[in-house]
């Protein structure tokens, strides 16, 4: 008589928060991951039911902790903002990330990219974007039926989900524009923009004082 092997208790399974892989392989890749993730956070800052995360492990299947991946950036519509140690889909109304981004490094291999594509295709991603900052190349795929199909003309493309417009600069830099037309910016660029705005305000105040008008504080 063969012994009966008990099924594993799903509630006791461990779902690690880290996969042992670095978030990025170099400073350029890290800069773009942060810029994309924070730019999307800004776009959806006023929507409490859009969750944006970077380098967060996504477990799509309860009971199998080996099925997982960590997109460089993922966006989930229909889930509340908040901190998570991982994205366990069965705890999130079984809603998969609809949009994912990957930023490549020189260490990426073609088989790794294919594995990512098949994973996202199998587990419900609607839009998948890949940017290679070293080569200045951008590719995108959009779900059609049960497949992710390549977007033939990505320059000027507007994401159906994000309403974000994609383009490439002359030097190959990725250009992303929010629904309001404003470009995504790095933190340093935002600081520079703020400083410029403050300087304009100071000049205006000086002009008003010369006219005998004291600016309101």
DSSP states of 150-196: E-S--TT-B-TTT--EEEE-TTS-EEEE-TTSPBP--HHHHHHHHHH
C-beta of residue 97 within 8 angstroms of C-beta of residue 125: yes
* CA distances (Å), origin 216, targets 43, 195, 200, 206: 31, 20, 16, 12
Q: How many CA atoms lie within 13 A of 15 on its CB side?
A: 24
d(CA 96, CA 171): 34
Q: What are phi and psi of 88, to 5 degrees?
A: -95, 105
Q: Quick one: pLDDT at residue 18? A: 79
d(CA 95, CA 198): 43
Q: Quick one: pLDDT at residue 1? A: 47
Residue listed under structure tokens 């989900």: 161
Q: Quick one: pLDDT at residue 199? A: 72
Has residue 192 got a pLDDT over 60? no
**pLDDT, averaged across the chain:** 88
Q: Which residue has the higher pLDDT, 180 or 200?
A: 180
Q: Quick one: pLDDT at residue 80? A: 98
The CATH code for residues 11-184 is 3.90.1570.20
Give me Rg for the CA atoms of the chain: 22
- Averaged pLDDT, 6-29: 75
- End-to-end CA, the chain: 87
pTM of the full predicted structure? 0.83
- Averaged pLDDT, 26-46: 94
- Averaged pLDDT, 57-76: 97
Q: Quick one: pLDDT at residue 194? A: 66
- Averaged pLDDT, 153-166: 97
* pLDDT band of 130, cuts 50, 70, 90: very high
C-beta of residue 171 within 8 angstroms of C-beta of residue 136: yes
* pLDDT band of 105, cuts 50, 70, 90: confident
C-beta of residue 162 within 8 angstroms of C-beta of residue 142: no
């Amino acid at each position: 008589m063969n012994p009966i092997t008990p099924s594993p208790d799903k509630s006791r399974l461990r779902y690690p928060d880290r996969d042992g892989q670095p978030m990025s392989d170099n400073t350029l890749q890290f800069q773009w991951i942060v810029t994309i993730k924070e730019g999307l956070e800004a776009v959806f800052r006023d929507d409490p039911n859009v969750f944006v995360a970077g380098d967060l492990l996504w477990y799509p299947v309860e009971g199998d902790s080996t099925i997982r991946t960590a997109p460089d950036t993922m966006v989930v519509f229909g889930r509340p903002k908040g901190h998570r140690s991982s994205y366990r889909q069965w705890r999130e109304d079984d809603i998969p990330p609809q949009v994912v981004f990957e930023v490549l490094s020189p260490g990426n291999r073609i088989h790794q990219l294919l594995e990512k594509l098949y994973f996202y295709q199998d587990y419900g991603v609607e839009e998948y974007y890949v940017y290679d900052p070293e080569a200045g190349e951008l590719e995108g795929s959009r779900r059609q039926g049960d497949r992710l199909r390549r977007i033939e003309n990505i320059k000027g493309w507007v994401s159906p989900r994000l309403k974000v417009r994609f383009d490439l600069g002359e030097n190959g830099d990725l250009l992303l524009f929010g629904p309001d037309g404003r470009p995504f910016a790095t933190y340093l660029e935002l600081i520079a923009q703020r400083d410029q705005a403050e300087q304009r305000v100071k000049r205006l105040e000086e002009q008003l004082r010369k006219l005998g008008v004291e600016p309101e504080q």
